[in-house]
Amino acid sequence: MSYQWNWSVFGQETVVGDGSTYAGWMLAGLKMTVTVSLSAWVLALVMGAIVGVLRTVPGKGLQRVATAYVEVLRNIPLLVQLFIWYFIVPELLPTAWGNAIKQLPPDTQQLGAAILCLGLFTSARVSEQVRAGIQSLPIGQTRAALALGLSLPQAYRLVLLPMAFRLIVPPLTSEFLNIFKNSAVCSTIGLLELAAQGRQLVDYTAQPYESFIAVTVMYLLINVVVMTLMGWLERRVKVPGYMGH
Amino acid sequence: MAYEFDWSSIPGSLPFLAEGLGVSLKITLVALVVGMVWGTVLALMRLSPAAPLRWFATGYINLFRSVPLVMVLLWFFLLIPQLLSQLFSLSPGTDVRMTSALVGFALFESAYYAEIIRAGIQSVPKGQLSAATALGLSRGQAMRLVVLPQAMRNMVPLLLTQAIVLFQDTSLVYVSALADFFGSAYKVGDRDGRLVEMLLFAGAVYFVLCFALSRLVQVLQKPKAQH
């Protein structure tokens, strides 16, 4: 095969003359992937906890709203949701808001849409885990909390949620891994994350294999780091007396 | 709300969109079949007593499950075709990019199916395999005639749920210029300046299809819950 391998391409300055090396582009992409994923993860945990709780509270109305939220977010492809957040939501908001959004720099708009979209998409999945976690607790826990004089919100906040979250660390780990992988979809709206930078390198250098291998290895590294951290967390918060998975 | 909806470009473009939906379903079907077959082979390799087979399957599954689908599609759309045409010195006219993207998609989904199938196989009691071998079946026969049929039955709901995910994933072939349903809807919306309506329409179609299928999965799961 006639392909010329040249790993030193990463040390070269880019042809666009922005003073960065190609390795610099890669690291900027990695930073963007991590920023988007972590911000979206915070949103997903908060919304997931709220919606997961709503699906278990007494009262049909709230349960229906929460179920509808989950079904809509789970049954529409991520790519379609992303395009809706990026292209359509600004159009549908009141004109003044829409214009304010459109006047933001494009990369801010992309980042905002990416975080919102990924966060809410993942929150539907997190909420299912939270619900399963709460429902796996003995009903006596709720009753005991209420009998001790706690209000229902207090019972959730002080008794049920802390237990539920400790039990669902393993499934949350896989959602956490997914959010990093799903963030690659955001390259389609022009967000310069890892996959997009890899593609850019293919266009600007004659070394497509090196750049794609580098990007792939970086995703593998993210995976290893997340699994190691979550494994540590899982051991830390394990509830004694429950089966470990 | 300031935006004025105009849905008029949908009726005229329905045949084009239906064609796109056909492509999406075709990709889903191909990936589903390849995913099940290759996934079963991978699952069996992963559970095999031969270490090299086990290593290969584990490496394959972990690799594909760690990398985003977008990345896999880009590999198979941009790089693998070049490699193939160099290796086999194809004539420059042959465009293998679409086929390559499709193959990449199927190889990616196989890794997920392999894990589901492995879990299904492991859900069959060990005694079944021992009993089958005691009756004189070879290991291969025991797997094929005794273990796999039971495993498959246990896995139906999970396999269908994964099929819904897979169908949604097909929208990502957008990065490879295959004209699937989403790509067609986007093209029409872009052409007519009606992106808002077309994307909402596309979202609604995906929702109806996936929601209906997920309800079907729930119905299938019901009788088992009563045991």
Contact A84 B203 (CB under 8 A): yes
Q: Give the nearest chain B residue to A181 (CA atoms).
A: B68
* Whether residue B30 has pLDDT greater than 80: yes
Query: What DSSP letter does each residue of B78-115 carry, written as one string?
Result: IIHHHHHHHHTT--TT---HHHHHHHHHHHHHHHHHHH
Residues B201, B11 contacting (CB under 8 angstroms): no
Structure tokens at A226: 């997340």
The predicted-structure confidence for A91-116, as pLDDT tens digits, reads as follows 998 888 989 998 999 999 999 999 99
* Whether residue B36 has pLDDT greater than 50: yes
| ipTM value greater than 0.90 | no
pLDDT for B63 equals: 95
As a CATH number, domain B11-225 is 1.10.3720.10
Between B97 and B1, the higher pLDDT residue: B97
Cα distance from B145 to chain A (closest Cα, Å)? Answer: 31
Q: Which residue ranges make up each domain of chain B? A: 11-225
Q: Give the nearest chain B residue to A219 (CA atoms).
A: B67
Across the range B115-138, mean pLDDT stands at 92
Across the range A69-78, mean pLDDT stands at 96
Q: Is A206 exposed, middle or buried (0-12, 13-18, 19+ CB in 10 A)?
A: exposed
Q: How confident is the model at residue B1 (pLDDT cuts 50, 70, 90)?
A: low
pLDDT for B142 equals: 92
In degrees, to the nearest 5, what angle opens at C-alpha B206 toward C-alphas A81 and A98? 30
Alpha helices in A55-168 (DSSP H): 60-74, 78-83, 89-92, 95-103, 106-135, 139-147, 152-154, 161-167
What is the CB neighbour count within 10 angstroms for residue A236? 9
Q: Which among B82, B75, B83 has a CA at the least distance from the CA of B101?
A: B75
pLDDT for A206 equals: 83
Q: How confident is the model at residue B61 (pLDDT cuts 50, 70, 90)?
A: very high
The predicted-structure confidence for B71-117, as pLDDT tens digits, reads as follows 999 999 888 888 887 788 777 667 777 788 889 999 999 999 999 99
Q: In this structure, what are the phi and psi dihedrals at residue A13, rounded to the nearest 5 degrees?
A: -75, 145
Q: Which residues, including other chains, have CB under 8 Å from residue A90's CB and lie 6 or more apart? A: A97, A98, A101, A102, A109
Cα distance from B114 to chain A (closest Cα, Å)? Answer: 17
Among B68, B86, B171, beta carbon nearest to A80:
B171
Query: Which domains, ranges and CATH numbers included, belong to chain A?
Result: 18-237 (1.10.3720.10)
Q: Which among B108, B75, B66 has a CA at the least distance from the CA of A225?
A: B66
B76 CB near a chain A CB, below 8 Å? no
CA B204 to mean position of chain CA atoms:
21
B199 CB near a chain A CB, below 8 Å? yes
3-state secondary structure of A19: coil
Structure tokens at B203: 């979202």
pLDDT for A85 equals: 95
pLDDT for B70 equals: 94
Q: Which among B155, B174, B74, B164 has a CA at the least distance from the CA of B115?
A: B155
3-state secondary structure of B140: helix
Contact A72 B207 (CB under 8 A): yes
